[in-house]
Structure 1
């Protein structure tokens, strides 16, 4: 028994050593610049301070990094917000256990958390309350709750990692996103709709979007892609977060004859939409943006599985348990530190990986002997092609707008086996491929944190997508964590 425990701990440690940031606990010695300061130029090294500099949220004596977290654990997006909050808690528990090399030896993470309940005013209030206690914010949950912070971020010189894929985030130095935008997702969804229908003339596009910046980002992408493809958008419907009665919305879509409907909604909207549509015997092809889904939908006690018959998930991210590089290390961390937090959920995975990114930037700042807020921003700018060991598309924060990928795929839920099949593989939307054709000739940089191939980054030549039909793949055997090609299905234990 003791031998098994030791082997498990060694495996976990090795996994995160391979996955960890490229820094150590001490400041840079120029003789070891390649070891300690990946991404630092000679000018960076020559100008770095002799001793570690800090201002907010860093206790040098005790090696404690304080990180702000603005969650929604009680509002209309709590179905996502709770597991998202758990992702950062899992990461902090792993770092603080000393079982990984995500941060240099001896460093721990303190989370300073607040619940804004998906209320922009409460978000601003919570931000002001804790901003002087933290170096940066590891989570600002939701597009409408992050945008009001933007004017303050530059004044306070503080980076906020948004739980949002709004296009506006990549355009702002202080809000680095972690993947392709909702706009890009919507564009890829339109490509899928045209391919599935066989011709653009056979598509009558509809959309239900949340009446805020998240929803409007999806709407912009949907309409731009429709114009590019020659598709008519026959119905545009809006809902508010948490809206339950959507009868009029479904009736309008049905009357317009919409054959393919994009859902730029939260799960609290997705459920009523699909349920009401089933009751009214309206069954178009549903295409949901990343936040439209939660893994709890796999449980029939939440919503009957039949209502997801025509639902597709349009996303640029791996799902829980997918056999991609880096997943085994994450699942090992979950088994050791996360099971008491709640049920497995995609958003816990997403939040954890986003947290890895933020700590990678901190390690680079630490290696440069400057963990002030301005030093942290410089550390972030040294993050090139970060892919979390192969789980993300390569992310590049060397310049603004940030380059966070454009390859999106379409997944279909296998409600029986609680996993996913690939309906359409990773590809850059055709409207973007046309706009960036000249840039696609450049080869992508080697990804940080893993040598395995990753989905194409924004501007990279996308591989030809697989036929746009459901490609069922057998889920991995229970407990099997062997490496396998990306995009294969594996067991999703989100019961």
Structure 2
């Protein structure tokens, strides 16, 4: 593929972290991890390739922990179907290392107990995870993942996930993404020193990591952040809009889900709070353009995202959009397709390099990924050589657009702001 134009806090919410820690204990972490260690380790398989968990002479099993029924159901469906498409195409070409890929899918419905239980169930039988939706849930099993050495490529971008070489964030983390978003607001949407900036955010890893980016930009640029913390079950943003309007904010960041973004933008427009609103990549789905909030979304809303959107005319998005539409003609295109495909192709690239080194063990695959630098899956450049850093610091700014394929169009090309370059956690 040709190189396209793009690519892609610090502490979890105490209550969420405590609840997940309790669930982790209930799930029986030590017992589950020991199952993987009891399997044959490093045995030579077909072609003289070493294997251990999740790999036979005929198959390579990868786990998928997704959300098909919860707050990110739209994203989960798109991510999963994109990964199933990758597996279908790879297997049609003979698989990888003479073995067919197999996805083992579990829907956790964005429920902490189901997410942790799903990891416990799948980990002993899969090589790694091509999908794991939910920053708090990945963080809850972070230590186990490091011990199990099962590579995880999450659809989650919290900085709390950095530091383990077995959890690799694809694209910029939420704090960096938010820094780039506010840089856009200041350079192109009139936000300036002395202004108040609203920030509506989910409690927990995702929202609080994004908030860290807002606070950093406020310190650097003389802004005042007006915080509005919400829960994933909060869908009506009327009270938050009223508070932000009273505070006199000149722009708003939202770090939540698509439903919350639609309510926020729709209510803001209806009440005369016509300021630019920008969301993190998880805060938009093109299905919102079928709601009453559509006109306001197209006028007032922007999204900071790690990669080119599915509707871009670059080679990577164009081919994927055509292939996905052919495979799933009844389903709409959205950027979950990009996220899922990028993770699957990244895992596939690591498998191919591990095969060349004749080592398809968990450690062998991780070592292969650590050797990948300046690699492009068609949607942006990634560097996986440093586990303490995300694979990119770039963000693309997009906006809802009914006329565009996939429901969004590019407003600002991939860019790393100076503030993002200088940001230290």
Q: What's the TM-score, normalizing by structure 1?
A: 0.72
For residues 208-246 of structure 1, the C-alpha deviation after alignment (integer angstroms, 9 at most, x for no partner) is: 01111000111000110111112122x100111131232
* Pairwise CA distance, 1:302: 6.5
* Pairwise CA distance, 1:347: 0.4
Verify: 1:431 aligned to 2:422, yes or no. Answer: no
Aligned with residue 67 of structure 1, among 62, 68, 75: 62
Question: Quick one: distance in 2 between partners of 1:424 and 1:376?
Answer: 35
Instruction: Tell me the C-alpha RMSD between the 2 structures.
Output: 2.4
Counterpart in 2 of 1:10? none
For residues 95-139 of structure 1, the C-alpha deviation after alignment (integer angstroms, 9 at most, x for no partner) is: 2222xx7734x4321111111111122111011111111100111
Counterpart in 2 of 1:370? 359
**Number of residue pairs the alignment of both structures matches:** 381
Counterpart in 1 of 2:196? 204
1:5-154 paired onto structure 2 within 5 Å: 51-60=48-57, 62=58, 64-98=59-93, 103-104=96-97, 106-154=98-146
Aligned with residue 397 of structure 2, among 394, 410, 417: 410
* Pairwise CA distance, 1:178: 1.0
Counterpart in 2 of 1:361? 350
Runs of 4+ in structure 1 over 6 Å off: none
SS at match of 1:87: helix
Verify: 1:277 aligned to 2:268, yes or no. Answer: yes
* Pairwise CA distance, 1:329: 3.2
Give the conservation status (yes or no) of the 8 Å contact 2:308–2:396: no
Question: Quick one: distance in 2 between partners of 1:329 and 1:197?
Answer: 33
Counterpart in 1 of 2:233? 242
Distance 1:358 1:337, change over 3 A: same
Give the conservation status (yes or no) of the 8 Å contact 1:77–1:241: no
Distance 1:429 1:129, change over 3 A: same
* Pairwise CA distance, 1:368: 1.1
Counterpart in 1 of 2:376? 387
Question: Quick one: distance in 2 between partners of 1:349 and 1:154?
Answer: 27
Distance 1:422 1:66, change over 3 A: closer
Distance 1:408 1:65, change over 3 A: same
SS at match of 1:399: coil
Question: Quick one: distance in 2 between partners of 1:305 and 1:171?
Answer: 42
1:258-277 paired onto structure 2 within 5 Å: 258-277=249-268
* Pairwise CA distance, 1:292: 0.6
Counterpart in 2 of 1:289? 280
Whichever of the two has the greater Rg, that structure is 1
1:298-317 paired onto structure 2 within 5 Å: 298=289, 300-301=290-291, 303-317=293-307
Which consecutive unaligned segments of at least 5 residues does structure 2 have? 3-43
Distance 1:203 1:132, change over 3 A: same
* Pairwise CA distance, 1:434: 4.4
Question: Quick one: distance in 2 between partners of 1:120 and 1:111?
Answer: 22
* Pairwise CA distance, 1:262: 0.4
Counterpart in 1 of 2:175? 183
* Pairwise CA distance, 1:323: 1.6
Give the conservation status (yes or no) of the 8 Å contact 1:194–1:203: no
Question: Quick one: distance in 2 between partners of 1:364 and 1:239?
Answer: 43
